[in-house]
Amino acid sequence: MAPAAAAAAPTPAGNGTSVSAMAVDGDVAAAASQGFSLDPDTFQKIHPAEFHRRFLSQGVRADGRPLQKFRKAKISLGPVSTANGSAMVRLGDTTIICGVKAEVAEPKPAAPRSGFIVPNLDLPPLCSPNYRPGPPSELAQTVSEYMDQVIKSCDLVNPETLCIEPGHAVWVLYVDIVCLNHGGNVVDAAMIALAAALKHTRLPQATYYETESTVRVTDTFTIPLSVKRTLVPVTFGVFDAAVVIADPTAEEEAHLSTTLTYVLDAENGEAAYGVLKSGGSAVPRDMLVACWDDARKRAVDVVAALAEAEQAGNRRPDVAAV
Amino acid sequence: MSDRKRVTGPEKSVAPLLETGSVPAFIFNPDRRHDGRDVNHLRPVFMKSGVVRQANGSAYLEAGKLKVACAVYGPRQNQRTKISATKGSLGCDFKFSPFSGGRRRSYMKDEQEREYSLVLEQALSPAVRLDLIPKSTVDIFVQVLESDGSAACLAAAITCASLALADAGIEMLDAVAACSAGYFESTVCLDPTGEEEAHEGGSLVLSYMPSLNEVTHVIQSGETSTATTVKALELCVDACSQIHAVMQQSLIANV
Amino acid sequence: MSARIRSDQRKLPSEMRPFYCSSALLSRSDGSVRFKSGDSSVLCSVFGPMEVKIRDEKLDKATVEVVFKAAAGNSTTKERLYERVIRETLEASILTALHPRSAIRITLQVLTDDGGILSTALNAATLALVDAGIALRSLPAGVTCMIDQEGVLLLDPTILELEAARSTHMFVFDNISDGALSNISTGSFSMDEYTSCYDTCFSAVAAVQQLFRSSVEGKVRREHGPEADA
């Protein structure tokens, strides 16, 4: 009998390696030896975890990437002219667009010179069949909250630079991140978009008129927002508690035993602004350190992509305040 | 009312006002529109289908500064209470992104978005062969990334949605093309931008199936004479045929 | 090391606050525990296995639901993050396959918050699960630490100390796995600082697990008489 090949894997795109007849085991082997075989798409639908396991045992992933390879981040700045700052990030299929709108509010009495940054991630039903119209999903809420905590604790933007008139008026930057296509690893794409959009944000010159208690702006002169740091998020997934894969896709995410997200500093890869590992299988100390080292290399690539985007975007016209 | 399911900022914030005199007053001149178009010219439109891989069908439309994305999921199980055994249903959802307009939009749906969702459904259902998909539903989600004229936005959404439906392989009688017009005294101006819209006396949005020469939906607001309305309808019908041609090209390019 | 006194009179930076727990406080719950760490106190009540909503039903395992209520004010996204971390941590430890198509609901109510509330809540939840008799694979225990502006590592900080933190770290370890189950770190820190936080929390968690052990032993003795072996 011909050697059993239960799932002839599709040729992965963009990598050159072709994974054909794979080692089979278990009862699938028994079925296979009787001449029963499944095409890859069907196999992925009925045994999704096993489908990915087969690839990983050969050192590749279902989309052809080696285990530690990240998808290239394609960033474009300023796609939305109605926003004070905007960025679009594409990470493989995952597409995220981030817009920053600046409004004016009264500061808190305890911090009369401090402005606000309000990040929010929206996963609309457009981006994936898993989301329905209605209140935000748990993933959206928890990622928004984590981004808020990281921004506040790492002092990304000095809140005092957002002051218009101490005690009366400060800027509130609403950073709204909308996912257009959920192809996995929304956290990374969202934070890269947030970092890029904030760097791209320009605020109009504002004056506070005490007599009318209003703030008026001129759209002729805009000042770039002073962002002190560049955050670079790097996410890894762990499969079966042992195999670490970088930048999981949506198909892989459903079967991971845990995910690990680092938020590193772009200038100085030594410094980090956050680590998030929410439950799941345990990750040993060595793995945490090794992943951090891999994350550092990825941070360099993301920074290069951001710089490239800034170069390309230097020709765009100034953004109006209204 | 604070939204407890999102990160909130201060309770109340407002968009800043412009300095008096910082923006020159807008004077509408039908012979010389701000972007150099004629009154009966549309903005150059760019369409692409198959942009959201997770969805069954999707489309992206850009017209000048306007940017709209649409995704179609279906036919899938109808989770609503009213399930018809003879025909399927169309679920339409229209949403402006918070950063899409001059003023920041909240995440909660406001009346305009609910109205536009209804219009989407009314404009598209005559064209979709719902009788072929009984007990199922086709969900259409439109997300406006940047808005430049709300009537133009609505028209773009209808066009984009019907392109996405075609991309999803949902059987339709014809692709629905939609376009908008604004009334300025007795002049009818096609595809008004946001700036122009602020000075118009009324607007019209027409959804049309060119191959069948049938109008699926028309909505007009404002006060106008019958003659002007008829003129606007004719202009829009011609414009819709042009849009339809672009839609066909874009679908063929993606095959 | 500098002999600084911490805000709550602790002498060492690597000293945890005194912690203790009391169980079986609520008569209606299947299990309930109040865990107190210094002045942070969380009450946890567990119901389960119980009936699950059809849309949340899982065919092969139990659905773990966590509700986290802050001491005051409405629930916000912060509580959602805590719920997610606690739920995902406990899902790995609870033997959910034993109770398919059921729900295990864990409700946490913060009584007083003096820093390190997430790790306190997690510890309360673990003990409450034991009190409820839900089968666990392991006992996850959490510890919080911080690094202040001078780079000194402080274990189990109070709210006052947290205000001057340069970075805050929460780690969860259990008694059988090699590695961290959960971790949330925010602020600005280097890899060396991170690994020293990991190591410090790892050794500190042993004390919490000792409390778990004596609590379980006490429960067994109470329920099955003094001759029962722990």
User: Residue C67 phi/psi, 5° resolution?
Assistant: -120, 125
| Tally of domains within chain C | 1
> Is B23 within the bounds of a domain?
no
Q: How far apart are CA C49 and CA C65, in angstroms?
A: 11
Q: Which of B99, B102, B20, B16 is nearest to A205 (CA)?
A: B16
Cβ of B145 within 8 Å of Cβ of A321? The answer is no
Q: How far is B106 from chain C (nearest CA, A)?
A: 17
Interface mutation target, options B1, B2, B3, B19, chain A, most CBs of A under 10 Å: B19
Nearest beta carbon to residue C177 from set A144, A270, A282 = A282
User: What is the model's pLDDT at position A7?
Assistant: 40
C101: alpha, beta or left? (left if phi > 0; alpha if psi -120 to 50): left
Q: Does A274 touch chain C (CB under 8 A)?
A: yes
> Is B6 within the bounds of a domain?
no
What type of residue is B29? Answer: N
Q: Where are the strands (E) in A149-213, listed by range?
A: 163-165, 169-181, 202-209
Reduced to 3 states (helix: H, G, I; strand: E, B; else coil), residue A258 is strand
> Is C66 within the bounds of a domain?
yes
SS3 content of chain B, % helix, strand, coil (to 5): 25, 30, 45
Reduced to 3 states (helix: H, G, I; strand: E, B; else coil), residue A254 is coil
Cβ of B15 within 8 Å of Cβ of A103? The answer is yes
Q: Are A142 and A150 within 8 A, CB to CB?
A: no
| Concatenated DSSP letters of chain C | ---PPPTTS---TT-PPPEEEEE---SSSSEEEEEEETTEEEEEEEEEEE---GGG--SSSPEEEEEEE-SSS---HHHHHHHHHHHHHHHHHB-GGGSTT-EEEEEEEEEE-SS-HHHHHHHHHHHHHHHHT--BSS--EEEEEEEETTS-EEES--HHHHHTEEEEEEEEE-SS-SSBSEEEEEEEEEHHHHHHHHHHHHHHHHHHHHHHHHHHHHHHHHHH-TTS--
Q: How far apart are CA B20 and CA A72, in angstroms?
A: 46
Q: B248: domain CATH number?
A: 3.30.230.70
Q: C75: domain CATH number?
A: 3.30.230.70
Interface mutation target, options A117, A126, A211, A222, chain B, most CBs of B under 10 Å: A126
Mean pLDDT of B203-230: 94
Residue A234 has which token pair? 């790097």
CA C202 to chain centroid, in Å, comes to: 14
State how far the alpha carbon of B199 is from the alpha carbons of A3, A163, B26, B27, C138, in Å.
75, 35, 8, 9, 69
Q: How far is B10 from chain C (nearest CA, A)?
A: 14
Q: Which residues in chain C are closer than 8 Å to B8, comparing Cβ atoms?
A: 76
The architecture CATH gives domain A73-313:
2-Layer Sandwich (3.30)
Mean pLDDT of B20-29: 73
Domain containing C146: what range? 19-224
Cβ of B10 within 8 Å of Cβ of A218? The answer is no
User: What is the model's pLDDT at position C16?
Assistant: 85
Q: How far apart are CA A82 and CA A101, in angstroms?
A: 8
Nearest C-alpha in A relative to B105 = A101
Q: How far is A82 from chain C (nearest CA, A)?
A: 28
Q: How far is A248 from chain C (nearest CA, A)?
A: 18
Nearest C-alpha in C relative to B6 = C77
- B61-105: per-residue pLDDT in tens? 999 999 999 999 989 988 777 778 888 999 999 999 999 988 999
Reduced to 3 states (helix: H, G, I; strand: E, B; else coil), residue A164 is strand
> Is B32 within the bounds of a domain?
no
Q: Which residues in chain A are closer than 8 Å to B76, comparing Cβ atoms?
A: 129
Nearest C-alpha in B relative to C80 = B5
Nearest C-alpha in C relative to B79 = C55
> Is B28 within the bounds of a domain?
no
Q: Where are the strands (E) in B6-155, listed by range?
A: 13-14, 17-18, 45-49, 57-63, 66-77, 89-96, 136-146
Q: How far apart are CA B244 and CA A63, in angstroms?
A: 36
Cβ of C81 within 8 Å of Cβ of A142? The answer is yes
Nearest beta carbon to residue A125 from set B65, B100, B141 = B141
Residue C188 has pLDDT above 70, yes or no: yes
Cβ of A215 within 8 Å of Cβ of B17? The answer is yes
Residue for token digits 């198959």? B50
Q: How far is B7 from chain C (nearest CA, A)?
A: 6
Q: Which of C51, C53, C50, C21 is nearest to C35 (CA)?
A: C21
Nearest beta carbon to residue C74 from set B4, B6, B7 = B4
Report pTM.
0.90
- A154-176: per-residue pLDDT in tens? 889 999 999 999 999 999 999 99
User: Residue B234 phi/psi, 5° resolution?
Assistant: -65, -45
Give the pairing type, strands A214-224 and A202-209. antiparallel
User: What is the model's pLDDT at position C139?
Assistant: 94
User: What is the model's pLDDT at position A23?
Assistant: 41
Q: Which of A93, A114, A94 is nearest to A186 (CA)?
A: A94
Give the pairing type, strands B57-63 and B45-49. antiparallel
User: What is the model's pLDDT at position C18?
Assistant: 85
Q: How far apart are CA B223 and CA B203, in angstroms?
A: 9
User: What is the model's pLDDT at position B22?
Assistant: 67
Nearest C-alpha in A relative to B164 = A126
Question: First-to-last CA distance in chain A?
Answer: 73
Q: Does A138 touch chain C (CB under 8 A)?
A: yes
Residue B230 has which token pair? 């008829």
**Which residues have CB under 8 Å from B44's CB, separation 6+?**
B63, B64
Counting as contact any 3 or more CB pairs under 8 A, the partners of A are B, C
What type of residue is C164? Answer: A
Q: Does B6 touch chain C (CB under 8 A)?
A: yes
- Count Cβ neighbours within 10 Å for each residue of C115-132 and write b for 16 or more, e otherwise: bbbbbbbbbbbbbbbbbb
Q: Which residues in chain A are closer than 8 Å to C181, comparing Cβ atoms?
A: 279-282
Q: How far is A296 from chain C (nearest CA, A)?
A: 11
Cβ of B145 within 8 Å of Cβ of A80? The answer is yes
Cβ of A270 within 8 Å of Cβ of C167? The answer is no
Cβ of A144 within 8 Å of Cβ of B95? The answer is no
Domain containing B138: what range? 45-253
Lowest-confidence range among B13-22, C147-156, C188-197?
A: B13-22
Residue B10 CB neighbour total at 10 angstroms: 16
Counting as contact any 3 or more CB pairs under 8 A, the partners of B are A, C
- B107-129: per-residue pLDDT in tens? 999 999 999 999 999 999 999 99
Query: In what order do the strands lie in the sheet containing C31-37?
Result: C19-23, C31-37, C40-50, C103-112, C63-69
> Is B142 within the bounds of a domain?
yes
Q: Which residues in chain A are closer than 8 Å to B9, comparing Cβ atoms?
A: 105, 116, 118, 172, 174
Rounded (5°) CA angle A221-A223-A225? 155
Lowest-confidence range among B3-17, C56-70, C114-128?
A: B3-17
Q: Does B146 touch chain A (CB under 8 A)?
A: yes
Share of chain B above pLDDT 70, in %: 98
Give the pairing type, strands A214-224 and B17-18. parallel
Q: How far apart are CA B236 and CA B244, in angstroms?
A: 12
Cβ of A276 within 8 Å of Cβ of C88? The answer is no
B237: alpha, beta or left? (left if phi > 0; alpha if psi -120 to 50): alpha
| Concatenated DSSP letters of A39-100 | -HHHHHHHSHHHHHHHHHHTTB-TTS-BTTPPPPEEEEE---TTSSEEEEEEETTEEEEEEE
Nearest C-alpha in A relative to B79 = A132
Q: How far is C93 from chain A (nearest CA, A)?
A: 9
Q: Which of C32, C33, C39 is nearest to C21 (CA)?
A: C33
> Is B1 within the bounds of a domain?
no
Q: How far apart are CA B54 and CA A40, in angstroms?
A: 18
User: What is the model's pLDDT at position A241?
Assistant: 87
Nearest beta carbon to residue A99 from set B22, B97, B143 = B97
Q: Which residues in chain B are closer than 8 Å to C75, comparing Cβ atoms?
A: 4
User: Residue A17 phi/psi, 5° resolution?
Assistant: -80, 145
Q: Does B1 touch chain A (CB under 8 A)?
A: no
Q: Does B12 touch chain A (CB under 8 A)?
A: yes
Residue A191 per-residue DSSP state = H
| Tally of domains within chain B | 1
User: What is the model's pLDDT at position A15?
Assistant: 40
Q: Which residues in chain B are closer than 8 Å to A145, comparing Cβ atoms?
A: 7
Cβ of C194 within 8 Å of Cβ of A273? The answer is no
User: What is the model's pLDDT at position A34?
Assistant: 58
Q: Does A149 touch chain C (CB under 8 A)?
A: yes
Q: Are C165 and C38 within 8 A, CB to CB?
A: no
Mean pLDDT of C94-105: 95
**Which residues have CB under 8 Å from C170's CB, separation 6+?**
C116, C118, C119, C142, C143, C144, C145, C182, C183, C184, C185
- C157-167: per-residue pLDDT in tens? 999 999 999 99
In chain A, where the domains are located: 73-313
Tens-digit pLDDT profile for chain A (322 aa)? 333 333 434 444 434 333 333 444 445 554 445 567 888 889 888 989 999 999 999 999 999 999 999 999 999 999 999 999 999 999 999 999 999 999 999 999 999 999 999 999 999 999 999 998 889 999 999 999 999 999 999 889 999 999 999 999 999 999 999 999 999 999 999 999 999 999 999 999 888 888 888 888 887 778 888 888 889 999 999 999 889 999 999 999 999 999 999 999 988 768 899 999 998 999 999 999 999 999 999 999 999 999 999 888 765 443 332 2
